Amino acid sequence: MMTQLTAAPEEAAAWLKRGEAVAFPTETVYGLGASVWSLAGLERIYEAKGRPADNPLIVHVSSRAQAAEVGAPNAMAEVLMEHFFPGPLTVVLTRRPVVPSRVTAGLDTVGVRMPAHATAQAFLQACDAPVAAPSANRSGRPSPTTWQAVLEDLNGRIACILEGEPSTVGLESTVVDCVHDPPLLLRPGAVSLEALQAVCPTLSVASATHFSARRSPGTRHRHYAPRARVVLVASPAQVPGGRAHAFIGLAPAPDILGYQQVVSDLAEYAQHLFAFFRACDAAGIDTIFCQTVSAG
Ligand code: TXA
Ligand code: MG
């Protein structure tokens, strides 16, 4: 299969309407989308990524009305959507029966998100349907934050890539289960726990028992992983020298001989992290040292 590159949202949407999987930019990471109404398109997502079938997909919508077509929001979901839509939050709602179980991996809930990104919005509107989309990487690889990274993983495996700017957030959306009372944070991401609790004080972090009850199968799978080993360090001075070592953090590592990237704050760290992982893999780095940073 030839993978077509385009900067025109309508052209990318035309591929999706023909039942193909199409990669598109969002503010968090690039997604690999198919219409929730196209079983062929949904199959192509799993095939192209090599994704385990028990990992549900997030449905991307262009409006709150479209969100209500796939999920039934309760009062808490309405509050969270009011505050964080459009943006990097995914709300898990009770699934409408019309949604194919291929989207939700057989769950009775559905994850829904409205991207705050002009190109993503133009694409979703042109698609004229809710778009199921995981991150546009091969399973187990870091999520792509540029169209070039999508091409690296999925060239020849998908019909089309909608080109856009690099993703500005660089981390996936935060996933919150709104069906559970009180709401539970299932996956940490671009919206912080503090920001969520400011709006919904009862919200808490899901426990291991919650996951073992298989409510969020995807969280069992390996995420964000470069091929290189990742080691956390408190200070750049702790990074040993060596050509096969790389470092990312707030100040330069004095002894590093390989690759390094200095970032000025947490937001910049998030924005560059996945692209740095990919660059390290491409450069044959075997250990990536990451400086730990506390929020606030
Ligand atoms: O920022 C993002 O969320 C990106 C962009 C493309 O929107 N998408 C993304 O999708 O990261 P993916 O497939 O890589 O991760 C989806 C996560 C998984 O952890 C999955 O288990 C969870 O969302 N999820 C989806 N639907 C769910 C549901 N019904 N119940 C619980 N968790 C769900
Ligand atoms: Mg992913």
Long-range contacts from 62-65, C-beta under 8 angstroms, 24+ separation? 62/114, 62/121, 62/124, 62/125, 63/114, 64/114
Q: Hey, what's the torsion of the CAs at 67, 73, 76, 81, to 10 degrees?
A: 10
- Residue 111 CA, closest ligand 1 atom number: 26
For residue 94, report the phi and psi dihedrals to the nearest 5 degrees.
-65, 130
Pocket test for ligand 1, best of 172, 179, 215, 219 (most atoms within 8 A of CB): 172
* pLDDT tens-digit map of 18-31: 999 999 999 999 99
- Residue 172 CA, closest ligand 1 atom number: 1
Neighbours of 4 (CB within 10 A): 15
Question: Residue 124 and residue 146: Cα distance in Å, rounded?
Answer: 19
* pLDDT tens-digit map of 115-160: 999 999 999 999 999 999 999 999 989 999 999 999 999 999 999 9
CA distance readout (Å), 197 to 76, 89, 164, 193, 203: 12, 13, 32, 6, 6
Contact residues of ligand 1, CB 6 A cut-off: 26, 28-29, 31, 55-58, 88, 90, 92, 104, 107, 109-111, 113, 133-135, 172-173, 175, 186-187, 216-219
Hey, which residues does 205 pair with through a beta bridge? 185
What is the band of 243 on the pLDDT scale with cuts at 50, 70, 90? Answer: confident
Question: What is the pTM assigned to this prediction?
Answer: 0.83
Q: Which amino acid is at 165?
A: E
